[in-house]
């Protein structure tokens, strides 16, 4: 993140120097065609026109990168055909000056996003209290169960419950019978499928449409192109496109497909996660993939004097030298076994939460008794008073398979030959079942803010059948701690993790 900040500052400075040093009378030479807008969002079935600004333009040629997503006319009119993203390349021929004899060429790119309908971010998060309660409980449970062994091994952990739940939501829309009952009970309790889809969709759209941070999410369904081996129902694809804006791809499931899937993952995690699979097993019929990327700058930036070399004592008792971020915050958290602090990202829609177990209470011990209710209650205990805070800079990747986590939550049938995914489709062997649930995450936290990404891939396999003036509190995250990135109106975690080591 530091590198990005430096590049941005340098770009602004260079521009200012160029404008400031431009001699009088040279404006004529500055004629270069530009796009009125480099990005277009178009509702499926609608059209918009790309406008090129500039003088002495002789010709414009437009070319789309994906005709299946959007087409473009000779005059730059873009027609949206299918939900997804593509690029329109524009080649412009023009004369730099009136006296120029030769035509110059300028190549421009307009990014096009096709949506089901125009999306406007509501002023508040419209989800039911029951959904919020179930989402919090499932999020903490996913993290607690998956983190148990890595934490005992004194490693770092990072789960994105939001990514896992969204990927599983797409799977749920293809489930039936006892398989659906197990998935429903484990992941969202007594909420019916229709209400779950509506709430999950509203929640995702609210997160993505934030103007203050960069939050990107994408969903895709990759299907083997041999109809004699697998047939996927249109109703299943339509439901997931409606609620989760998923894109469907039919591919031969060869080495080229591996490259395409990994390229999609890399693009939709903003290059933070370069790949999710290395090969495709012969009996894999479909992948359902969720990818998300978060980048938020701190609401209050750190000055250079607040970043100091300090010591972090890891889970093995080893002293590690780290850049420690020192600040005074005003959101103090406390329960019987831990203290904590909340620090907002720009706009206040999202916040970083650091939870430090009391001396004598290990991270493992604290996680064992943590529930969705206790997590939300801890954040709800926020006291508005001064908190002297130390947060270490850290960065790491985490890879895990969520199958055993799901089984521990009570989901069994979905992985067996008795699975019922009849609402999803069929194979020549008769049924589909879940083979793998791969989950990868990445995080970078530094003085500028936080970058985090997650990808969850589910492979379907063929089966046989006002501040206080009192003494300030202290929360120094200089030993193993739990953290989360949360949406602040409901305190639901987008990411949850454990830092046992900063090296």
**Alpha carbon of 28 to those of 35, 56, 95, 393: distances in Å?**
19, 11, 11, 49
Task: Decide the pairing of beta strands 39-43 and 104-115.
Answer: parallel
Q: DSSP letter string over 416-458?
A: STT---TTTEEETTEEEEEEEEEEEEEEEEETTEEEEEEEEEE
**Alpha carbon of 262 to those of 65, 152, 277, 471: distances in Å?**
18, 31, 7, 52
What digits encode the pLDDT tens for the residues 124-183? 677 899 999 999 999 999 999 999 999 888 999 999 999 999 999 999 999 999 999 999
Q: Look at residue 20 and tell me whether its pLDDT is greater than 70.
A: no
3-state helix, strand, coil in the chain (%, to 5): 30, 40, 35
Q: How confident is the model at residue 226 (pLDDT cuts 50, 70, 90)?
A: confident
Q: Look at residue 122 and tell me whether its pLDDT is greater than 80.
A: no
- What angle do helix axes 161-172 and 177-188 make, rounded to 10 degrees? 160
The pLDDT of residue 222? 92
Task: Decide the pairing of beta strands 449-464 and 473-476.
Answer: unpaired
Q: What's the rounded Cα separation, in Å, for the pair 213 and 286?
A: 33
The pLDDT of residue 126? 79
Q: Which segments of 253-360 does DSSP mark as H helices, in order?
A: 255-268
Mean pLDDT of the chain: 87
Mean pLDDT across 391-398 = 95
What digits encode the pLDDT tens for the residues 68-118? 999 999 999 999 988 888 999 999 999 988 888 899 999 999 999 887 655
Q: Is the pTM of this model over 0.85?
A: no
> Range with the lowest mean pLDDT among 241-255, 310-324, 457-471?
457-471
What contacts 147, CB < 8 A, 6 or more positions away?
157, 159, 367, 498
Nearest CA to 229 out of 287, 150, 275, 284 is that of 284
The pLDDT of residue 46? 83
Q: What's the rounded Cα separation, in Å, for the pair 145 and 435?
A: 19
Most distant pair of Cα atoms in the chain: their distance: 80
Q: How confident is the model at residue 41 (pLDDT cuts 50, 70, 90)?
A: confident
What digits encode the pLDDT tens for the residues 326-383? 999 999 999 999 999 999 999 889 999 999 999 999 999 999 999 999 999 999 888 8
The pLDDT of residue 442? 94
Q: How confident is the model at residue 470 (pLDDT cuts 50, 70, 90)?
A: low
User: How many Cβ atoms are within 10 Å of 190's Cβ, its own excluded?
Assistant: 9
Q: Look at residue 300 and tell me whether its pLDDT is greater than 50.
A: yes
Q: What's the rounded Cα separation, in Å, for the pair 270 and 295?
A: 10
- Based on C-alpha coordinates, what's the Rg of the chain? 25
Mean pLDDT across 436-451 = 93
Q: What's the rounded Cα separation, in Å, for the pair 64 and 87?
A: 6
Nearest CA to 165 out of 187, 182, 198 is that of 187
Q: How far is CA 11 from the centre of its chain?
A: 27
């Amino acid at each position: 993140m530091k590198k990005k900040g430096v590049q941005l500052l340098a770009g602004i400075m260079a521009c200012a120097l160029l404008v400031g040093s431009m001699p009088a009378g040279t404006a004529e030479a500055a004629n270069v065609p530009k796009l009125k807008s480099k990005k277009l969002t178009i509702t499926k079935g609608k059209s918009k026109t790309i406008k090129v600004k500039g003088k002495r333009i002789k010709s414009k040629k437009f070319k789309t990168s994906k005709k299946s997503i959007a087409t473009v006319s000779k005059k730059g009119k873009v027609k949206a055909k299918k939900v997804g993203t593509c690029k329109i390349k524009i080649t412009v021929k023009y004369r730099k000056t009136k006296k120029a004899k030769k035509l110059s060429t300028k190549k421009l790119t307009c990014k096009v996003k096709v949506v089901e309908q125009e999306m406007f971010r509501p002023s508040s998060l419209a989800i039911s209290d029951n959904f919020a309660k179930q989402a919090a409980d499932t999020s903490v449970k996913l993290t607690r169960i998956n983190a148990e062994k890595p934490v005992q091994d004194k490693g770092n952990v990072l789960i994105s419950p939001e990514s896992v739940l969204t990927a599983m939501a797409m799977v749920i829309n293809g489930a039936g019978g006892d398989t659906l009952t197990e998935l429903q009970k484990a992941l969202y309790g007594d909420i019916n499928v229709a209400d779950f889809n509506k709430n999950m969709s509203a929640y995702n759209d609210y997160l993505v449409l934030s103007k203050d941070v960069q939050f990107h999410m994408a969903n895709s369904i990759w299907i083997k192109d041999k109809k004699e081996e697998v047939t996927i129902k249109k109703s299943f694809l339509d439901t997931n496109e409606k609620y989760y804006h998923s894109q469907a791809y039919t591919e031969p499931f060869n080495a080229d497909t591996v490259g395409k899937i990994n390229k999609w993952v890399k693009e939709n995690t903003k290059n933070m996660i370069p790949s999710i699979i290395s090969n495709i097993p012969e009996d894999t019929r479909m992948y359902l993939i969720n990818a998300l990327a978060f980048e938020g700058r701190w609401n209050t930036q750190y000055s250079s004097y607040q970043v100091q070399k300090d010591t972090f004592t890891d889970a093995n008792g080893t002293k590690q030298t780290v850049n420690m971020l020192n600040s005074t915050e005003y959101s103090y958290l406390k329960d019987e076994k831990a203290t904590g602090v909340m620090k907002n990202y720009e706009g206040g829609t999202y916040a970083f939460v650091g939870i430090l177990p009391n001396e004598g209470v290990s991270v493992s011990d604290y996680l064992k008794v943590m529930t969705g209710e206790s997590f939300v209650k801890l954040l709800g205990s926020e006291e508005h008073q001064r908190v002297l805070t130390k947060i270490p800079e850290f960065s790491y990747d985490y890879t895990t398979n969520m199958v055993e986590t799901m089984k521990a939550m009570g989901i069994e049938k979905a992985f067996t030959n008795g699975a019922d995914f009849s609402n999803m489709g069929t194979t020549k062997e008769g049924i589909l079942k879940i083979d793998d649930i791969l989950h990868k995450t990445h995080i970078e936290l530094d003085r500028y803010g936080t970058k985090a990404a997650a990808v969850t891939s589910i492979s379907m396999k063929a089966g046989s059948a006002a501040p206080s003036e009192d003494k300030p509190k202290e929360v120094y995250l200089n030993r193993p701690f739990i953290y989360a990135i949360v949406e602040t109106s409901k305190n639901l975690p987008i990411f949850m993790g454990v830092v046992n080591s900063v090296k």
